[in-house]
Amino acid sequence: MTIQICSLLFWALFCSTAMLLAIFLKHRKGCGKSDGKLPPGEMGLPWIGETIEFYRSQRDNQLFEEFVQPRITKYGKIFKTRLMGSPTIIVNGAEANRFFLSNEFKLVVSSWPTASVQLMGINSIMEKQGEKHRCLRGIIATSLGPAGLEILVPKICDSVQLYLDKNWNVREEISLYHSTKALTFTIVLECLLGLNFEPGTLNTFERVLEGVFAPPISFPGSKFSRAKKARREIKEMLIKVVREKRKKMESGLGGDEGMLFSQLVSGMIRGEISEEEVVDNVVLLVFAAHDTTSFAIAMTFKMLAEHPDCHSLLLQEHDDIMNKRRSGENLTMEDTKKMKYTWQVARESMRLFPPIFGSFRKAIADIEYEGFTIPKGWKVLWTTYGTHYNEEYFKDPLTFNPRRFEEPIPPYAYLPFGGGPRLCAGNQLAKLNILIFIHYVVTRYNWSLLCPGEQITMDPLPFPSHGMPIKVSLKSS
Ligand code: HEM
């Protein structure tokens, strides 16, 4: 009997220990201390890791060719490294893009460098998650959705024509990249947001943008210090404008409810967002649109210059549209929908020269993916090149072939605008900006590149190293 009781006690003790052990191991896995298999790759020296190689190839605009591709060949599409102190997994391919981009907020959150967060502000949409992100995105989307964009078309047409008349008609040599930057700035601030600033404001914004990816070190004269000073000036200026707008709107004198700035201030009056959120998101929108749209336009012109047959086809499309309109009449949304070939050319240019290389995410849980474990807290970098330059998704990937966009592209293979909940909120505005600018340039000017082999540099966003100088002259009729 005693033996029976003893063996029963033994089994009860054994079973409960085994159960506790199982619960402990399961819990341990969920808490970020997974003992799963890490992807292959080199972590390099403590903190530095492979940062120097990463930056060097980035500066030469060879990030994919010199950093990512050789590691894919050595380790496969998913590999580990250490960048700027952070253990990082670099993932490549449509399936990986889908997995990480669509699991935003669930398994990963976007992760920006310290300088970017400080300069854009902790209240900008890029730092928001979950419900707060959804709320801000909803406000921004009202002006960037179909109805808002329809209102924007004539405004963009006026801005582009005014800019070209004032700056291009009087000169023979133009920096295409700087022109598109100035114009994008006007389109975002004036056309989209409905704000009017003094001419020097662009310089102040540019000083902020110069520091966004700089080391976050403050000493007199450093890029970051200058950027912070400029950011303070912008904040003061915007706070004044926000308060004036609020007063006007509360006394029923808003007047321009369709404009995004009014939408943001309305959200503030309703108590959905704060004054800081309005200010930070105005700065973020300028940043998000500025270098990206300008680079996309510059690369489209580079491709047109290098492919005269494509240029002729594109010109035909624009001549047809122009010939159906009365002289001086603005383009309509319907006209932009007819620019199918132009959009294929621009998409193909962004495939070969994506304005954004990819972006970082941070794992908020241990992630099991493709037989590997990505530990909680590690960074994940998804890349556009990993699919844009891959034969699996794009036949002859290094050949410029706009017509490839006549066929459907596999999901998450073509990602100049990202994907998932953080898909670029301004992608349709960028499209309009690109199409309308191309229309007025190709129908009005003869143009040619002055520096055809100009190098593209990255810092970390890509740009033509000489600002893409072009020769322009007005067409005779
Ligand atoms: C050719 C031009 C553009 C390109 C290539 C581009 C690309 C991108 C990419 C790749 C992302 C996602 C980043 C990530 O996943 O971490 C993004 C986000 C964003 N973009 Fe754009 N963008 C362009 C123009 C614009 C414009 C014109 C605006 C608005 C004025 C804009 C506003 C935004 C915003 C607000 C986000 C953040 C969305 C969120 O976090 O929910 N972008 N953009």
Domain CATH number, residue 441:
1.10.630.10
**How many structural domains is the chain composed of?**
2
Instruction: Give residue ranges with CB within 6 A of ligand 1.
Output: 110, 125-126, 137, 140, 188, 192, 285, 288-289, 292-293, 296, 355-356, 359, 416-418, 422, 424-426, 429-430
Asked whether the beta carbons of 150 and 309 are under 8 A apart, the reply is no
Rounded Cα–Cα distance for residues 96 and 107 (Å): 13
293 with 339, same domain: the answer is yes
Q: Compute the distance from residue 6 Cα to the ligand 1 centre, in Å.
A: 69
What are 222-241's pLDDT values in tens digits? 989 999 999 999 999 999 99
The domain in which residue 64 lies consists of 36-121+357-415
Q: What pLDDT, on a 0 to 100 scale, did the predictor assign at position 477?
A: 67
Shared domain for 371 and 449, answered yes or no, is: no
Task: List CB contacts of 376: < 8 A, sequence separation 6 or more.
Answer: 31, 32, 363, 364, 365, 366, 367
Regarding whether 441 and 399 lie in a shared domain, the answer is: no
Same domain, 322 and 341: yes
Residue 207 one-letter amino acid: R
Dihedral pair phi/psi, residue 106, rounded to 5°: -95, -50
Spacing, Cα 426 to ligand 1 middle (Å): 6
First to last CA, the chain: 112
Q: Are residues 70 and 201 located together in one domain of the fold?
A: no
pTM over 0.75, yes/no = yes
Query: End of a domain among 415, 438, 454?
Result: 415
Residue (of 357, 353, 342, 341) closest to 299 by Cα position:
353
C-alpha 284 to ligand 1 mean position (Å):
10
In the chain, which residues have pLDDT < 50? 1-6, 8-10, 12-34
- CA quadruple 139, 145, 150, 152: dihedral positive or negative? positive
- Return the pLDDT at 2: 44
Q: Is residue 3 part of a domain?
A: no
Q: Which atom of ligand 1 is least distant from the CA of 361? A: 16
**pLDDT at position 33, please?**
44
- Domain CATH number, residue 82: 3.30.43.20
Same-domain pairing of 341 and 229:
yes
Residues 208 and 233 in one domain: yes
What per-residue confidence (pLDDT) applies to 27?
37
Length of the chain: 477
- Name the residue type at position 428: Q
pLDDT tens-place string over residues 173-209:
999 999 999 999 999 999 999 998 887 898 999 999 8
**Among 417, 428, 436, 463, which residue has the most ligand 1 atoms within 8 Å of its CB, making it the best to mutate?**
417
156 assigned to some structural domain: yes
pLDDT the model gives residue 339: 98
For position 199, what pLDDT does the model report? 79
Distance 419 CA to ligand 1 centre (A): 10
Structure tokens at 148: 């808002």
Residue 295 lies in a domain: yes
Same domain, 335 and 410: no
Question: What is the spatial distance between Cα 464 and Cα 299, in angstroms, rounded to a whole number?
Answer: 9
State residue 198's pLDDT score: 83
Given 415, 444, 461, the domain boundary residue is 415
Task: Write down the pLDDT at residue 35.
Answer: 61
Q: Which of 372, 393, 415 represents a domain boundary (last residue)?
A: 415
